[in-house]
Amino acid sequence: MVGKTISHYRILEKLGGGGMGVVYKAEDTRLRRTVALKFLPPELTQDSEATQRFVQEAQTASSLDHPNICTIYAIEETDDGQMFISMGFYEGQTVKEKIEKGPLEFEEAVEIAVRTAQGLGKAHSKGIVHRDVKPANIIVTDEGHIKILDFGLAKLAGQARITKPGTTVGTVAYMSPEQVRGEGIDHRSDIWSLGIVLYEMLAGRLPWSGDNYETVLHSIFHEAPPPISRFRTDTPVTLQQVLGKMMEKGVRNRYRNM
């Protein structure tokens, strides 16, 4: 793929990939700008109605024009019918990459959570739920800006990705109980997920013990997370309370909005 030209995009390098697709850095030869192209797996786009809903939701998310939401420029198809998304390219690190180096400084973790909440809040005000808030979908640019990636993709993937063979702990660790059960969800599921992300940024680890799918699911449904103060003694009581409410297992007990 690297070195090829698809439509008016010249592929420069592969940035990464996963269950939601493969991402490349590319040059938009028409507008002379660097972009990121995400090529969606064919199995995600076989259902034409689901694909159309995804396109509509992604278009709505891109129209929000919020500083904490990744800009989507276009949704296109290759000559052989593979769908791809042209979006903003940002130099920086994902929150996942930051956490891999250890717990974040308190001020940075809170700043990332606040900015992410602002972006999600804007989306929620337009009826858009992200459904896949996790460290890998939040990037901190080299300029210090926070960007949320992959709006709409989790809905396109659907419930099947939770139970398909090869599902990893990381796939479900940030999902709310109602999402794992396959129930209808709303913006409060994103609030749960952001609470897990904030906890992990501060503690340097997930609130759930266990390294296998079944154990994590049991924890999500039945166990209270260890107090964040066990890992970060500098966490104010008010923030401990905020985290507790964000991660309430009963959806009605969480915050009503961001």
State yes or no: pLDDT of 233 exceeds 80.
yes
Please give the average per-residue pLDDT across 149-155, as a whole number.
72
Report phi then psi at 169, rounded to 5.
-55, -40
Please say whether the beta carbons of 95 and 135 come within 8 A: yes
pLDDT digits (tens, 9 = 90+) for 84-140: 989 999 999 999 999 999 999 999 999 999 999 999 999 999 888 898 999 999 999
SS3 113: helix
Q: Which residue do the tokens 């998304």 mark?
A: 85
H helix or E strand, kind and range, residue 88: strand 83-88
- Mean pLDDT rounded to a whole number for the chain: 88
Q: Which residues pair with 37 in a beta bridge?
A: 24, 86
Q: Is 191 or 62 the better-scoring residue by pLDDT?
A: 191
State yes or no: pLDDT of 197 exceeds 50.
yes
Q: Grade residue 1 by pLDDT with cuts at 50, 70 and 90.
A: confident
Q: Which two tokens stand for residue 72?
A: 């989507």
Q: Which CATH superfamily is domain 5-88 in?
A: Phosphorylase Kinase; domain 1 (3.30.200.20)
Instruction: Classify the C-alpha dihedral 170-176-179-185 as positive or negative.
Output: negative
Please say whether the beta carbons of 39 and 31 come within 8 A: no
Burial of 201 (0-12, 13-18, 19+ CB in 10 A): buried
pLDDT number for residue 80: 85
Q: Tell me how far apart the alpha carbons of residues 212 and 169 are, in angstroms, rounded to a whole number.
A: 6
pLDDT number for residue 158: 55
pLDDT number for residue 170: 58
Domain 92-253, CATH:
1.10.510.10
pLDDT number for residue 82: 86
pLDDT digits (tens, 9 = 90+) for 210-230: 778 888 999 999 999 999 999
Beta strands in 98-238 (DSSP E): 138-141, 146-148
Judge whether 249 is annotated as a binding position.
Answer: no
**Global pTM value:** 0.89
The Cβ of residue 152 has, within 10 Å, a number of other Cβ atoms equal to: 26
pLDDT number for residue 75: 87
Instruction: Classify the C-alpha dihedral 239-241-244-245 as positive or negative.
Output: negative
- The verdict on whether 132 is a catalytic residue reads yes
pLDDT number for residue 113: 98
State yes or no: pLDDT of 252 exceeds 70.
yes
Please say whether the beta carbons of 93 and 85 come within 8 A: no
pLDDT digits (tens, 9 = 90+) for 4-61: 999 999 999 999 887 678 999 999 999 999 999 988 877 767 777 767 767 776 777 7
The Cβ of residue 156 has, within 10 Å, a number of other Cβ atoms equal to: 23
Question: Rounded to 10 degrees, what is the CA torsion of 15, 19, 21, 23?
Answer: -10
SS3 78: coil
Q: Grade residue 209 by pLDDT with cuts at 50, 70 and 90.
A: confident
Strands 146-148, 138-141: parallel, antiparallel or unpaired by DSSP? antiparallel
Please give the average per-residue pLDDT across 241-254, as a whole number.
96
Exactly one of 28, 65, 132, 150 is catalytic; name it.
Answer: 132
Domain residue spans in the chain?
5-88, 92-253
